Amino acid sequence: MIPQRLREKFGIDTSGEVLIYEDNGRIVVEPLPPAEDLHGIHAGDHEPGGILRRVRETNDEEKQREEATAERLRPDEDAAE
């Protein structure tokens, strides 16, 4: 448990999470930023709606492959006669 005085000094919420690691023979404890602070961290890296568009394209491509496979595996109607 981290003492209250240190939690307050370094801005660590009692329910907050910390990252603990070793650096040059020392144990380092750093507060993790709240998830809300990370929202949109890469927002400028992509055009708006670009990820959703790519997911839809991928889904469409997968559906086309599945339909082509189903067509190839479907029994030939001429052979049934």
Tell me the CB-side half-sphere exposure of residue 10, using CA atoms within 13 A: 16
Average pLDDT for residues 8-12, to the nearest whole number? Answer: 81
Q: How confident is the model at residue 39 (pLDDT cuts 50, 70, 90)?
A: low
**22 pLDDT more than 70:** yes
Cα separation, 75 vs 12, in Å, equals 65
